[in-house]
């Protein structure tokens, strides 16, 4: 029976799944998590640099996905979830005062020096594998701004990685 449920949910469109999640159907939320949970977690982890905070951000994003009213914009479930995850992870990252015990010295230091918006865009591009257009939708920005910010972030990361010390 479990395989039949998965097969049925596999045929459900993103729009229908979004409507089912909004009614907070447990099975619908589980299917949404199966489809998009790993990308949301990886995005939150990249932004917060902390696994516990990343999981908190994903849980908060799913709760908001199920409980917040839509603002009239038609977005895919993936775009809406990654946008909520980005916001929740950004809020948690701003609240942190001490470095995470899970933080490793190295490339994470480079990532941490970038502005939050640039970190979010870079995480969406690299971790969640979103394209410029999808990042622009998630961030509520223009595609040209996304491209400029990504170029700046990559250039800054390259400078920091190439600099001695």
Q: State how many domains the chain has.
A: 1
Mean pLDDT is highest, among 6-20, 31-45, 71-85, 127-141, for 31-45
Range of the domain at 75: 2-162
Report the CATH number at residue 24.
1.20.140.160
Sign of CA dihedral 109, 110, 114, 119: negative
| C-alpha separations of 141 from 4, 12, 65, 84, 164 in Å | 40, 29, 20, 15, 35
**What does pLDDT average to over the chain?**
76
pLDDT digits (tens, 9 = 90+) for 77-127: 888 889 899 999 988 888 764 444 334 334 456 667 778 888 888 888 877
What is the pLDDT at residue 57? 92
């Amino acid at each position: 029976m479990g395989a039949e449920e998965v097969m049925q949910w596999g045929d459900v469109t993103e729009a229908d799944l979004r409507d089912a999640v909004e009614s907070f159907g447990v099975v619908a939320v589980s299917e949404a998590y199966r489809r998009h949970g790993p990308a949301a977690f990886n995005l939150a982890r990249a932004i917060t640099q902390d696994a516990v905070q990343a999981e908190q951000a994903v849980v908060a994003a799913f709760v908001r996905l199920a409980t917040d009213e839509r603002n009239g914009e038609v977005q895919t479930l993936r775009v809406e979830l990654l946008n909520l995850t980005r916001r929740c992870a950004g809020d948690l990252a701003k609240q942190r005062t001490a470095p995470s015990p899970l933080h490793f010295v190295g490339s994470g230091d480079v990532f941490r020096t970038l502005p939050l918006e640039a970190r979010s865009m870079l995480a969406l591009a690299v971790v969640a594998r979103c394209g410029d257009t999808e990042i622009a939708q998630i961030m509520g920005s223009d595609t040209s701004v996304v491209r400029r910010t990504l170029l700046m972030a990559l250039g800054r990361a390259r400078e920091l990685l190439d600099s001695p010390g």
